[in-house]
Chains A and B, each alone.
Chain A
Amino acid sequence: VPDELELAFSPEVLVGWRVWRVARPIDREATALELAAALLAAERRGDFGSVEDLFRLRLRSLTEPTFWPVGSRLEASCHAAAQEHEAPCVGCECGIWAFRSSAAVEATVAAYRYCGTPIAFGRVALWGRVIEHERGWRGALAAPLDLFVCGSSAAATSEVAAAYGVEASAVPWPQVDPEPLVERGPGQVA
């Protein structure tokens, strides 16, 4: 991976596809101890909104415990390196990911079907510093543009749509053929 890339400038946001979990920052069925710990964690990460907001459905990163803010942009940060750096960084995997193709996203949605939370996918706008890759982008700033929610009720889908001020539709899980775990040739025994 080169240290420096060709640099371009644009006034137009990039639009890609990505996947989110749909979850509440604090589970309504949490115990008092879990609730206390979750409130403390919210304060430590600078989440100073009303406590009520922590019980509402939000978009959450698939792989990070990051909830997407309501009414404002998500700003990327990187804590992976020994020394924190501005995200996205060329030699790192940090930044807010988005894919060029919705097909790549559908395969990810199907893979998370049994993860225990509804899964949303849809278009996302990226801006600020963006690193363009062959099949997608990593951006510094992002906001959702529209959502399709799998494994969710109509009411929960509406709650998410209202929270982020975007259109959202409840849709069935995508039918994607799973890749075989082991490729077998003729006569091979598993």
Chain B
Amino acid sequence: VDIGDPVREIEIVPDEEPIGVPEEAPAVEPEEIPA
């Protein structure tokens, strides 16, 4: 499967980038060790 020959070039600057927000639990930060 290929996408054929190139026909034109488009410069796309969206107002907002459609990036999904991860729903994973954030990584647990290591506890600070008191001095």
Contact = CB atoms under 8 A, between A and B. Distances in A.
Given A71-B21, A145-B18, A162-B22, A8 B9 contact: yes
A97 interface: yes
A53 B27 contact: yes
Contacts of B11: 7-10, 128-130
Given A10-B11, A134-B4, 15 more contacts: A1-B5, A5-B9, A6-B7, A7-B9, A12-B14, A73-B19, A90-B6, A130-B11, A131-B8, A133-B6, A134-B3, A135-B4, A137-B3, A143-B17, A161-B23
B5 A129 contact: no
A47 interface: no
A153 B14 CA distance: 35
B12 interface: yes
Nearest to A10: B12
Q: Chain B contact residues: over half helix, strand or loop, or mixed?
A: loop
B32 interface: no
Complex A-B, nearest 8 residue pairs according to Cβ-Cβ distance, in ascending order? A165-B20, A134-B4, A136-B3, A50-B27, A133-B3, A162-B23, A127-B12, A165-B21
Q: Chain A contact residues: over half helix, strand or loop, or mixed?
A: mixed
A152 B18 CA distance: 25
Contact of A11 (B8, B15, B27): B15
Nearest to B8: A6
Contact of B13 (A2, A127, A145): A127
Size category of the binding interface on chain A: 35 or more
A40 interface: no
Contacts of B10: 7-10, 14, 129-132
A38 interface: no
B1 interface: yes
Contacts of A136: 3-4
B12 A11 contact: yes
Contacts of B18: 13, 125, 143, 145
